[in-house]
Structure 1
Amino acid sequence: MSSMTTGTRLTTAFVKNIKQQGKYFDEGRTGLFLRIDKNIRKYWVQRLTVNGKRREIGLGAYPLVTLKMAREQAFENKRTATLGGDPLAAKRKAQSVSNFEAVMEQYLEAKLTEFRNEKHKKQWRATLDTYAVPVIGSMPVRDIQVTDVLRVLKPIWDTKTETASRLRGRIEKVLSWATVNELREGDNPARWQGNLSEVLPKPSKVATVRHQPALAQKDTGRWWADLSNRKGTSIAALRFAALTVSRSGEVRGMTWDEVDLEARHWTIPAERMKARRQHRVPLTPTLIAMLEDLPRMEGSPYVFFAAQGGMLSDMALSSVMRKMHKADLANGGRGYIDAKSGAPAVPHGLRSTFRDWAAEQGYDHVLAELALAHDVGSEVHRAYRRTDALERRRKMMVDWENFFKKE
């Protein structure tokens, strides 16, 4: 076992790279040191005199608690003790009332503002409320172990694998937040690698990836003709989404200040993109004509606005496609279904229809992926590609329109 003297100042690099069991003290007279156990797990500890008694206070595990964070907390504890207070008492009080549900609420309050949309926020809370809270909600976070996390996950791991996998990650984040805030210590029982991975089958082994049902290429012209005979804002938005192969949320959130009719492109800002990068969409003559014919609502910034001027709901485009499918079946048609799964096609599946078409037409895969706003190639490859090939994509999208609308 090794150690360092209190006169040695720890560095971020040293803390990250040291692999030898021992205690490594930091300078500063706060009693802070890094403890490394036999399994090379690293913990921050503070040796402090509180009301005349020598105590050791755990400050959390590295790297969740950084050197800077540990120093700041150690300084606060030292000041509290010097003024006659007891930092341990405050910590015990916080831990005694910190059950999982309460900590979850604190975490969500702190972190939900980082999420991109309301739907994602609701999904985060819903999975935790539905599956985790009934099982471990009343448990103090300091007491939650692997067996408790398994009681949450096992009932749905095989039948709702994707949901269970996301739930595991969300429980892990809540417990990590609790560790950083000194409400628990030790390993995170919801961690996958080297932990739950040893007792639960890999998600990929128990669940098949479900692709969004795509419109069959043979049905595109028939579907377009059906759609063109309908009226309404949601229908116009779906037509626009189909010809631009944009995501539903990108189209529903589209505002007039993003559109440049003279330059013939629509620029979606990074904060509205899944990849968090600005994306330009070429506007073909057909799309420009569609935009010029659209009504505008005074006071509403949206191109495709809801009744009161706000953004269309996230179900608006999906509802149109469901109604079209049902109506076609009712009229003796075959409906609009995915050729592989037989499931009714959905708006997002139109992007898959485009991708298959582009491949069959021999378009460069990079060009097709750029149209879909996907990451293309390695990070180095992307760094050296300085253009988004807007004009080349414009020609491809004209071909796509002609194919899509051809009966």
Structure 2
Amino acid sequence: MAAGKPLTATFVKNITKPGKYFDSNRYGLFLRIDKDGRKYWVQRIMISGKRREIGLGNFPLVTLSMAREQVVDNKRKAHMGNDPLAEKRKAKMDTDFASVVEKYLEAKLAEFDDEKHKKQWRSTLDTYAIPIIGHRAVETIDVTDIVTVLKPIWEEKTETASRLRGRIEKVLSWATVNELRFGDNPARWNGNLSEVLPKPSKIRTVKHHPALAQKDTGRWWNDLAIRDGMSIKALQFAALTASRSGEIRGMTWDEVDFEAGHWTIPAARMKARRQHRVPLTASMIALLQKLPRLEGSPYVFFGAKGGMLSDMALSSVMRKMHKADLDKGGAGYLDAKSGSPAVPHGLRSTFRDWAAEAGVPHEMAELALAHSVDSMVVRAYRRTDALERRRKMMVAWEKFLKKE
């Protein structure tokens, strides 16, 4: 556009070349286009004898006519001895990333049923994002900022970094919906960060929980069966059902249907956030029916004062069993591959290995473990639940576990 001529709406819409384009006789208004093609309105203005620049917003959210109205208003304020830049900064103080995180969490944390999940959400942002971009206005955060946050931990703590990226994306999406920023989300993965960071699947080191060796299942079960205590019973039930420790510890009596023969875990307590039914075998039912019930406590496997068992309760049992076996000259209970002492979560891997060796259909085993698998076949199984087929499978697993 020729110098000295006013901008037009058509020109502003079509121009893409990076640079500055001044609107003549409009109190210092110009359009700035960065190398990524984004367009910003800026005003050069004298405030208290100093030339300053005030950002007026991004096009197309702020149109040419809107920008012109703002520059006139700012010029009027400066002429009257006020500071329009200071006013703008004050108005924007609560749109820095740290403040927006607080607003987002205030609005969304109620959706999280798990207290641990709530703490993790805040902790990852507080630890890795806030120190770097917490002071930045959300409207100014770009891809470079996100990469600066993620890159130091992307390869070393890939899973944490991936979750952090998703959480930043959600916060910025919330900010966009609430008109605190506009344009593309710089934390988006596909076609964005995927072009500058390696895929998590290519660098993530999968953490395998040490599993009980298949040759040791009978010996381990007999060792467990001679012991007594609520944690021991919980570990037995976890082994029989191949369920996660948290699912067992949070189990309540109202989730158990003895007549129908199944245990229904609500979606709020499942990792995949889907309701999951566990078929109960005769041995599982017998174990549950022999348990004491504590008045006032809803938990099947209750801890001190009727509360939930601690997250270390089952792990402690397995550690003590391993040490006791070593003390009497045994080999302990070790993972066949790593040689590390087996842990409760590893029992699920023991079940999975058994299922593969026993010729159990892949989708049946995955359904029993409540894994999130996108296979159409597995989704079909989920629709029918396959409860009775899984009950027979768990009976076979129990026989193997006990080496009967």
Q: Mark yes or no: TM-score above 0.5.
A: yes
Shift of 1:92: 6.3
Matching of residues 233-248 of structure 1 within 5 Å: 233-248=230-245
Matched, 1:253 2:276: no
Matching of residues 178-257 of structure 1 within 5 Å: 178-257=175-254
Task: Say which one has the larger Rg.
Answer: 2
CA contact (8 A) 2:363 2:378 kept: no
Change (3 A) 1:324 1:111: farther
Matched, 1:334 2:331: yes
Distance, in Å, in 2 between the alignment partners of 1:91 and 1:305 is 56
CA contact (8 A) 1:48 1:55 kept: no
Specify the alignment match of 1:301 in structure 2: 298
Matched, 1:371 2:368: yes
Distance, in Å, in 2 between the alignment partners of 1:221 and 1:380 is 33
Question: What are structure 1's unaligned runs of at least 5 residues?
Answer: 1-19, 23-37, 57-87
Specify the alignment match of 1:313 in structure 2: 310
Shift of 1:284: 1.6
Of 327, 342, 346, which aligns to 1:345?
Answer: 342
Matching of residues 86-101 of structure 1 within 5 Å: 93-101=90-98
Specify the alignment match of 1:13 in structure 2: none
Matched, 1:45 2:45: no
Question: What are structure 2's unaligned runs of at least 5 residues?
Answer: 1-12, 16-35, 40-57, 72-84
Specify the alignment match of 1:31 in structure 2: none
How many pairs align?
A: 344
Amino acid at match of 2:161: A
Structure 2 SS opposite 1:101: helix
Of 54, 60, 64, which aligns to 2:69?
Answer: 54
Amino acid at match of 2:396: D
Specify the alignment match of 2:146 in structure 1: 149
Change (3 A) 1:185 1:338: same
Distance, in Å, in 1 between the alignment partners of 2:371 and 2:341 is 25
Structure 2 SS opposite 1:54: helix
Structure 2 SS opposite 1:254: coil
Structure 1 SS opposite 2:61: strand
Change (3 A) 1:402 1:236: same
Specify the alignment match of 1:140 in structure 2: 137
Deviation by residue 1:13-40 (Cα, 9 ceiling, x = unmatched): xxxxxxx979xxxxxxxxxxxxxxx979
Deviation by residue 1:156-186 (Cα, 9 ceiling, x = unmatched): 2222122122212222222222222222233
CA contact (8 A) 2:155 2:203 kept: yes
Change (3 A) 1:193 1:357: same
CA contact (8 A) 2:352 2:365 kept: yes
Greater mean alpha carbon deviation, residues 106-115 or residues 94-103: 94-103
CA contact (8 A) 2:241 2:394 kept: yes
Amino acid at match of 1:54: E
Change (3 A) 1:359 1:383: closer
Distance, in Å, in 2 between the alignment partners of 1:385 and 1:176 is 32
Shift of 1:298: 0.4
Distance, in Å, in 2 between the alignment partners of 1:54 and 1:347 is 66
Shift of 1:327: 3.6
Shift of 1:120: 1.5
Specify the alignment match of 2:277 in structure 1: 280
Indicate the percent of aligned positions where both proteins have the same amino acid: 73
Distance, in Å, in 2 between the alignment partners of 1:288 and 1:340 is 34
Shift of 1:143: 2.8
RMSD: 3.4
Change (3 A) 1:305 1:377: same
Change (3 A) 1:94 1:296: farther
Matching of residues 55-74 of structure 1 within 5 Å: none
Distance, in Å, in 2 between the alignment partners of 1:379 and 1:324 is 41
Distance, in Å, in 2 between the alignment partners of 1:104 and 1:369 is 36
Shift of 1:383: 4.7
Specify the alignment match of 1:358 in structure 2: 355
Specify the alignment match of 1:126 in structure 2: 123
